[in-house]
Structure 1
Amino acid sequence: MKVPTLLYWRGYVEITVRKGHVEAFINALTQTGIPVWNVKPSSFQTAEMKVLVEDFHDLRPHLQRTGCRIHVNKRIGLPFQMIRLKRRRFFAVGLVLFFAILFLLSSLVWEVKVVGNVKIPKEDVLMIAKQEGIYPLQWVYRMNHLDKLSQQLNRQLPGTAWVGVDRQGTTITIQVVESSIPEVRPLLSPRHLVSRTDAVITSIYAEQGRPTVTKNSRVKKGQILISGLLGDTENSQSVVAKGEVKGLVWHEYKIEVPTVQKYKVYTGEIKDRSYLILGNRGVQLWGYGKIEYEKYDVVIEQDPLTWRSTKLPIGWMTEHVMEMEERSEVITIEEAKKQGIEGAIRDIMAKYGSESQIISRKVLHENQENGKVYMKVLFEVEELIAEELPIVYNQGE
């Protein structure tokens, strides 16, 4: 028999017909137009079938005439679900209220983010956005279209090349692309470029000003390398001297390296101490007891509570107490020398610039005493030697 439509919405039951004349019962249903389907004989004088709820009460006359009895196995469909919800009306009301509140909360803007801004303050962007209706606890349906909001923010925020507005759930993200404005350089007073140390010139490039020394010439500290005065004594003009001057400079280092070097190693044993942070005070919650480690390091991990982008004066703090051991390693004399020289080279690069170049080095003195290597090393370094010196005029000039 043809299966009726909209079974779930109309509701149906799965029944078992037993005793009596089962075949006569099925034929009677067919003749009267009551739809049944999935008819399966399960045993002698017994059959399973499905029938709509609306036709269930019409089965009684046919049951009496054929002497059959029925047993309802399953009740399926929306009508039975509604009956169950009616019995648990408070649960149903709570479920409806839950989804209603969830819908309302998802229709609000809870957070407004500003990304991409470097020179434009975030507060200025949020202020203009609030004037356009973008702010926390705003209804989403009351906001203009995102493209229109982007155009309005771009028009009202000075110094922006483009502003994009994007919504992901309850979060609005404002993407700012700032205009590339040429940097306004401050006006400099006329000045010379002088040598900051004694050196031998290896290269000189004068971008502006008059060079007063040449390559391979020896200069003293404070000597003018590129003059900011152009012309002669009668017709002169002062400018800001610019350029690059490199020279050979000698640095003497006294190096001391122990041959027995100590370092610490973590054993992997850790004890945590947890605190509840209230303002500037902490209340210990876990991790009481004496630290049994002989040597240890303490690493502090803080986890403050936040609301939007604001840190609240409450949170958690965990102290990780990690056991460590000190170990020693004996190195050779050659390894100690290498470490000392490498340390001196790193110091030169840090003090005089990474573009400095070590030309040569010479060990002037070397000695081993009391488990240490002592050296005096002379480094020949090519480095930038120019520094600025303002031109000062007398009041009578």
Structure 2
Amino acid sequence: MKAPTLANARGYVRVRIRGGNAESFINAVVSKQIQVWNVQRTSFQDFQCYVLLSDYFNLRPILKQTGCRVHVEQRIGWPFALRRVLRRKFFLIGFAMFMLGLYMLSSLVWSIDVKGNDRIPTEQVLAAAKEQGIYPFQWTFRLRDPDLIAKAMHTKLKEASWVGVNWEGTRVSIQVIEATKPDSLKLVNPRHIVASEDAIVTDIIAENGRAVVARNARVKKGAVLISGAVGTETEPKDVAAKGEARGLVWHQYEISSPLVMKHKVYTGEEKERKYIVTGNRRLMVSGFGDIPYAHYEQLQEDNTLKWRQLSLPIGWTNEKIKEVQFASEERTETQAAEAGLKQARADVLGKNGPNARIHSEKILHQKTDNGKVVMKVLFEVEQSIAEELPLVRQFEQKSQPESEPHEQGH
């Protein structure tokens, strides 16, 4: 016989029938229209079957009539599961309170991030947000639409050109784009543009003032390139000279490049240590023992506990100790010379401005001595040679005519 409909919902048990007249028990059960299924004989006098929970209590008269005994081996179905759950009511209450607390905590604003503000103080942005109901431990369901909040904050923050508000979970993010202000004009004193180095002028442009040298002119350091004196002798007028001047400048380098280069390489072996940090003190918690490497490099990662925007004086440090070895690489004289020239080119360009370029280079002297290639190189570099010099005029003080003595009468 198959299991009846909704047996799990109604609940059923697996029972073992012992002793007595088993055949009479089965016949009596069928005559009483009690549903049993999966009847199996386990021994000569015993057999097992499944019966609904509602019919189990109707077996008692039949057991007395046939002299059989019954033993429940398994309880199956929802009624038994519900009974087991109800026995753990304190667990249910605790679980329900935990879920309620979790929901309440996830419905609070825990942190507020302000991004994009350079001139506007963060405190001013947070104050504007607080006026719109955004502050720590505020319920998220009490917040208005983000677009309405952003519009109100934009009205409050005069120096912002756009404000965006967005929240994800318990964190609110405020993005601020500050309004661009034109640079204020600086008052400058009259000045000349003079040469910063001895050079041959390759280009000169006077935006304000008067250019006094032409292209291809050779100038000494300190020579006036763009004059700030634009008036006449009778009507002098001084301005702040402004412009651009470029020229060819000579730089001499002495280069020493070794024929054998040593490189530091990692072997892949490493040891890790962990520390608990409180203030300026730290306590090692793992990685005890001496460092087993002859040459090594230490990499340290510091982590600090934070609450909102406050950094606590407690944290932990992960320290990795990596084994290193030094490998040697032999180079030819040509390779060593080229490596030295490459380093010198980078140095001369880095020292003379972003728009500097090497016009030519000439090796004045080269020799190999003590495992090194020694060179003396002259670089011709086109670079900016403009330098400001205050313009100071010296005014001659006119002498006052002496008064003639008056003759006194006698």
Amino acid at match of 2:27: G
Amino acid at match of 1:12: R
Take 1:394 and 1:304, find their aligned partners in 2: how far apart are those partners? 63
Shift of 1:195: 0.6
Take 2:206 and 2:222, find their aligned partners in 1: how far apart are those partners? 18
Shift of 1:146: 2.5
Tell whether 2:164 aligns with 1:159.
no
Shift of 1:199: 0.6
**Cα pair 2:305 2:312 within 8 Å, conserved:** yes
CA displacement 1:301-357 (0-9 Å, x = unmatched): 212222233321111112222221222222111111111111111111111023212
**Cα pair 2:14 2:75 within 8 Å, conserved:** no
Take 1:20 and 1:248, find their aligned partners in 2: how far apart are those partners? 121
Measured on the aligned residues, the alpha-carbon RMSD in Å equals 3.3
CA displacement 1:196-216 (0-9 Å, x = unmatched): 011111111222221111111
Shift of 1:40: 7.5
**Cα pair 1:13 1:73 within 8 Å, conserved:** no
Aligned to 1:13: 11
**Cα pair 2:349 2:358 within 8 Å, conserved:** no
Aligned to 2:302: 302
Q: Which has the larger radius of gyration?
A: 2
Take 1:244 and 1:252, find their aligned partners in 2: how far apart are those partners? 25
Aligned to 1:76: 77
CA displacement 1:65-113 (0-9 Å, x = unmatched): xx9x998976434x55442222112211111111121122112111111
Aligned to 1:32: none
Take 1:310 and 1:269, find their aligned partners in 2: how far apart are those partners? 38
Aligned to 1:272: 272
TM-score when scaled to structure 1?
0.83
**Cα pair 2:11 2:80 within 8 Å, conserved:** no
Tell whether 2:196 aligns with 1:178.
no
Q: How many residues align?
A: 378
TM-score when scaled to structure 2?
0.81
Take 2:382 and 2:292, find their aligned partners in 1: how far apart are those partners? 54
Shift of 1:230: 1.7
Amino acid at match of 1:83: R
Aligned to 1:105: 105
Take 2:13 and 2:326, find their aligned partners in 1: how far apart are those partners? 81
Shift of 1:300: 1.5
Do the aligned partners of residues 380 and 139 (structure 1) sit closer, same or farther apart at CA in structure 2, a change above 3 Å counting?
same
**Cα pair 2:208 2:241 within 8 Å, conserved:** yes
Shift of 1:133: 2.2
Aligned to 1:126: 126
Aligned to 2:349: 349
Q: Runs of 5+ in structure 2 lacking a partner?
A: 16-24, 42-47, 398-410
Take 2:276 and 2:334, find their aligned partners in 1: how far apart are those partners? 53
Do the aligned partners of residues 355 and 119 (structure 1) sit closer, same or farther apart at CA in structure 2, a change above 3 Å counting?
same
**Cα pair 1:266 1:325 within 8 Å, conserved:** yes
Take 2:123 and 2:394, find their aligned partners in 1: how far apart are those partners? 49
Take 1:236 and 1:21, find their aligned partners in 2: how far apart are those partners? 135
Do the aligned partners of residues 395 and 80 (structure 1) sit closer, same or farther apart at CA in structure 2, a change above 3 Å counting?
farther
Take 1:335 and 1:287, find their aligned partners in 2: how far apart are those partners? 44
- Aligned residue runs from structure 1 range 1-397, under 5 A: 11-14=9-12, 19-20=26-27, 56=54, 60=58, 75-77=76-78, 80-394=80-394
Amino acid at match of 1:250: W
**Cα pair 2:107 2:170 within 8 Å, conserved:** yes
Shift of 1:185: 3.7
Take 1:81 and 1:166, find their aligned partners in 2: how far apart are those partners? 45
SS at match of 2:329: strand
SS at match of 2:184: coil
**Cα pair 2:13 2:76 within 8 Å, conserved:** no
**Among the aligned pairs, what percent are the same residue?**
40
Q: Runs of 5+ in structure 1 lacking a partner?
A: 30-35
**Cα pair 1:192 1:226 within 8 Å, conserved:** yes
- More off after superposition, 181-190 vs 369-378: 181-190
Amino acid at match of 2:10: Y
Do the aligned partners of residues 86 and 379 (structure 1) sit closer, same or farther apart at CA in structure 2, a change above 3 Å counting?
same
